[in-house]
Amino acid sequence: MSNDRASKNSKKKAQAAAAALQGKKDRQRRTLIQVGVAVVLIALVAVIGFSIASKSSDDTTAAPAATPSTVTADGAIRIGDPNAAVVVTAVEDFQCPACKQFEAISGDTLSELVADNTIAVDYKPIAILDRMSTTNYSTRAANASLCVADADISKWPAWHKAMFEQQPAEGGAGLSDEDLTGIAQLMQIDVGSCIADGKYTDYVASQTQNVVNSGITSTPTVTVNGTAVSNPTPDGLRAAIAAAQ
């Protein structure tokens, strides 16, 4: 009997040790994934940053012909509490591969934190990658984002997510205005002729120049209450947000 008990105890200890080892391996694997994601995102940001840095910041832009009704004073589309104490700002270009990665990796985390009133998010769509398409896709997509925000800002986050999921490859024509309007219509957002008319094209150009003049050198550029977040993964964002509270 004592031998049986000893054998059972040995098995339990072995099983516990194996479980502990597996748990350690799982934690290490998650850490490696987070680090790998951060490295890829930072590398992509660096490439995009070079193209922004090469853009002249000496130009001045005339006042835009039309101003969206839903943007903040500095041109952001705010999602969440207008009076939030903690604001995450994301400067993005819809043609930017690193921005697509950022949305895929951290978009759901931001949505969750907005939903529980921890933060608000200010999205600033700009157009610095028009040269990466044959139809000025960056400008057209940024214009479309403002059209959607004006039409129904409550549905803008879902449209924003869909836009990055359907991001066109660089070097082509990009999504057509009909495609951009169609994405909105699938979500029952009535943008009328706003996208086709390029209603906010001048505004996009003005805001893009303002952002470049402010010293932004890469997309996505992510800040929390004005402080840059160098590692905008879910863990990196949560840490920066906690520090700002």
In degrees rounded to 5, what are phi and psi of residue 79? -115, 115
* pLDDT tops 60 at residue 98: yes
In 3D, which of 43, 173, 180, 166 has the Cα closest to residue 98?
Answer: 43
In degrees rounded to 5, what are phi and psi of residue 124? -120, 95
Measured CA to CA, the distance from residue 217 to residue 221 in angstroms comes to 8
pLDDT of residue 2: 46
Measured CA to CA, the distance from residue 174 to residue 66 in angstroms comes to 24
Measured CA to CA, the distance from residue 100 to residue 169 in angstroms comes to 11
pLDDT band at 217 (very low <50, low <70, confident <90, very high): confident
pLDDT band at 6 (very low <50, low <70, confident <90, very high): very low
Are 212 and 194 in contact by the 8 Å Cβ rule? The answer is: no
Are 102 and 151 in contact by the 8 Å Cβ rule? The answer is: no
- Tell me: the pLDDT tens digits for 31-49? 544 545 454 455 454 444 5
pLDDT of residue 223: 98
Could you tell me if residue 220 is left (phi over 0), alpha (psi between -120 and 50 degrees) or otherwise beta? beta
pLDDT above 90 covers a percentage of the chain that reads 73
**C-alpha separations of 218 from 62, 99, 122, 143, 190 in Å:** 24, 10, 17, 20, 32
Q: What is the dihedral of CA 106, 191, 122, 70, to 10 degrees?
A: -160
- Lowest mean per-residue pLDDT among 59-63, 64-68, 184-188, 194-198: 59-63
Encoding tokens for residue 203?
A: 């505004």
- Tell me: the pLDDT tens digits for 105-146? 999 999 999 999 999 999 999 999 999 999 999 999 999 999
The fourth-level CATH superfamily of domain 43-244 is: Glutaredoxin (3.40.30.10)
- Tell me: the pLDDT tens digits for 156-215? 999 999 999 999 999 999 999 999 999 999 999 999 999 999 999 999 999 999 999 999
